[in-house]
Amino acid sequence: MLDPGWIHRNREDFDVFHVHFGFDDRTQEQLRALVRALRAVRRPLVVTVHDLRNPHHADPAQHTAALDILVPAAAEVVTLTGGAAAEIARRWGRVAVVVPHPHVVDPIRARAARPEHEGFVIGLHAKSKRANSDPVPVAHAVADAVARLPGARLRIDAHDDAAGRAVAARLADLDVRVHRPFSDDELWDYLTDLDASVLPYRFGTHSGWLEACHDLGTTVIAPSCGYYADQGPCLVYDHDESGLDSASLAHAVSTAYRERPSWRADPDVRARQRQEIADHHARLYQAAVNQT
């Protein structure tokens, strides 16, 4: 769909071209050709900026170059948080409409009672390690903090691939579970078994994982980089590309342990929010069409 040929062949089948993801492999010239094709067939471009910094890229240059083409060319720009919108205004002079991320967990599952368990469980999932994830120093810092909290324990998970096994090898002294990626239901079970989930990111912008935790009532301990804290209530520790502040992470862990915050999203509110998001997009699409 990002090919100009597709645009021309299907010009009568769509009114608005909305880009969320999927352009990582496109060169700058290919994206410019996409923009030219949309202009030629008089179809507006809408761009939702989920990532101002791509979590899969150690070097931000490629993603920045792509946004430098897409954001100025868009009839409407959307993002998820006020902080990201402010950065978009600074970088490109565009007013981005803030439309929050909808619920991630199915509403029926989101209403289910959380299972009871002994003690206090803090989870850190290395997944298939992304460029923005720094799980090893974060895990050691959390382990040190947990050791001072009676009844608390740290659970670390990693995927059964080369990256996950490499993380597990570096954390062999801790409780690491290496397994295939969770299905959705398995992931919801895992998150509800945790009292708190630590996001080990050193750069990034927004998080669907964080939204799932809010749906299920799992406290999020988020890094200070990006705009994770703008998405919803969470505890924040200092972590970005300049390094990790272990003391701030220990403080966030102890706060989660002492206060046991209850920040679970109301499924009824989430359902209304999803409809509001759909309505908002309908208005955005009409505004974009009216500009052509």
Alpha helix segments (H runs only) across the chain: 4-9, 28-40, 61-73, 82-92, 107-110, 135-146, 162-170, 184-192, 208-216, 228-231, 246-259, 267-290
Confidence of residue 130 (pLDDT cuts 50, 70, 90): confident
User: Is residue 117 situated within a structural domain?
Assistant: yes
pLDDT at 292: 84
* Domain presence at residue 206: yes
- Please indicate, yes or no, whether residues 131 and 63 belong to a single structural domain of this protein: no
At residue 289 the predicted structure's pLDDT band, cuts being 50, 70 and 90, is very high
pLDDT tens digit string along 178-196?
999 999 999 999 999 999 9
Residues 207 and 170 in one domain: yes
Asked whether residue 97 falls in the same domain as residue 111, the answer is no
* pTM for the structure as a whole: 0.95
Q: How many domains does the chain have?
A: 2
129 pLDDT band, cuts 50/70/90, is: confident
Answer yes or no: is pLDDT of 222 > 90: yes
Task: Give per-residue pLDDT as tens, 149-162.
Answer: 999 999 999 999 99
- Please indicate, yes or no, whether residues 135 and 186 belong to a single structural domain of this protein: yes
User: Is the domain of 229 the same as that of 146?
Assistant: yes
Determine, yes or no, domain membership for 96.
yes
pLDDT (0 to 100) of residue 198: 98
Q: Are residues 148 and 224 in the same domain?
A: yes
For residue 268, tell me if it sits in a domain. Answer: no
133 and 22 in a common domain: no
Q: What is the pLDDT of residues 38-70, one digit of tens each?
A: 999 999 999 999 999 999 999 999 999 999 999
Residue 133 has pLDDT above 80, yes or no: yes
pLDDT reported for residue 79:
98
Tell me if 245 is assigned to some domain: yes
| Same-domain check for residues 47 and 158 | no
Both 238 and 112 in one domain: the answer is yes
Query: What is the pLDDT at residue 128?
Result: 74
Same domain, 21 and 165: no
Tens of pLDDT, residues 4-33? 999 999 999 999 999 999 999 999 999 999
Residues 250 and 186 in one domain: yes
Domain of 172, in residue numbers: 107-259
- Which of 103, 104, 138 has the alpha carbon at shortest distance from 225? 138
Mean pLDDT of 198-213: 97
Residues 249 and 116 in one domain: yes
Closest CA to 204 of 33, 34, 27, 81: 81
- Classify residue 265: in a domain, yes or no: no
CATH code, domain carrying 78: 3.40.50.2000
